[in-house]
């Protein structure tokens, strides 16, 4: 009987790519398929886990006098002012400067100045003398890329939800 030595080789269908790469093609294809599956599942679950791709919500559509409750980070729902709510929009301001992102400091300074004016007109007193807190939302770098140029000005109730509008209350 003639000895043949150890059998070397690969099972059928495990061809390798030419060159120095010695990973079987089926393993590469399987890895790519698994990665694609995970990406698809991730995209499908993201909105359920994190509340959607763009929850910057409808607050940009709120107008002065809209009362809202805060449901979670970045999630605001409008509600009648007659029921307990977390805040009320007192106004908004739209950026009219350069189209390039001006930076957080410049946006914050612009938004604060605009919102102090909106607050004073809506409530009837300035935030400096008011018992109410001024909340200011302005575009982030990522929302700026999506076209967001609006600052939202709102009264926030620091201690507990309240009912009723703060319009003209001079509080």
- Domain that includes residue 29, residue range: 20-53
Q: For residues 99 and 125, state if they share a domain.
A: yes
Local confidence band at 24 (pLDDT 50, 70, 90 cut-offs) = low
Local confidence band at 26 (pLDDT 50, 70, 90 cut-offs) = low
Q: For residues 72 and 149, state if they share a domain.
A: yes
Q: For residues 98 and 40, state if they share a domain.
A: no
Q: For residues 70 and 41, state if they share a domain.
A: no
Q: How far is CA 66 from CA 53, 60, 108, 150, in A?
A: 24, 11, 22, 16
What are the b/e assignments for 90-120, b being 16+ CB within 10 Å?
A: bbbbebeeeeeebeeeebeebbbebbbebbb
pLDDT at 87: 94
In a domain, 161, yes or no: no
pTM reported for the whole predicted model: 0.64
Q: For residues 118 and 134, state if they share a domain.
A: yes
**Structural domain total, the chain:** 2
Kind plus residue range of the DSSP H or E element containing 123: helix 104-123
Q: Which residue has the tokens 């939202």?
A: 152
Q: For residues 118 and 133, state if they share a domain.
A: yes
Q: For residues 101 and 34, state if they share a domain.
A: no
Q: For residues 91 and 146, state if they share a domain.
A: yes
Q: For residues 65 and 149, state if they share a domain.
A: yes
Q: For residues 135 and 72, state if they share a domain.
A: yes
Tens-digit pLDDT profile for residues 43-82:
333 333 333 333 444 578 899 999 999 888 878 899 999 9
């Amino acid at each position: 009987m003639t000895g043949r030595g150890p059998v070397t080789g690969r099972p059928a269908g495990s061809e390798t790519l030419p060159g120095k790469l010695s990973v079987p093609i089926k393993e590469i294809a399987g890895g790519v398929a698994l990665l694609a599956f995970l990406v698809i599942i991730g995209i499908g679950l993201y909105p359920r886990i994190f509340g959607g791709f763009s929850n910057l919500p409808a607050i940009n559509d709120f107008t002065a006098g809209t009362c809202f409750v805060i449901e979670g980070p970045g999630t605001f729902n409008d509600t009648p002012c007659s029921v307990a709510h977390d805040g009320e929009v007192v106004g908004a301001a739209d950026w009219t400067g350069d189209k390039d992102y001006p930076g957080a400091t410049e946006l914050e300074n612009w938004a604060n100045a605009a919102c102090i004016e909106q607050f004073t007109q809506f409530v009837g007193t300035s935030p400096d003398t008011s018992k109410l807190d001024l909340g200011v939302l302005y575009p982030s770098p990522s929302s700026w890329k999506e076209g967001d140029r609006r600052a939202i000005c709102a009264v926030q109730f620091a201690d507990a939800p309240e009912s009723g509008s703060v319009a003209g209350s001079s509080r």
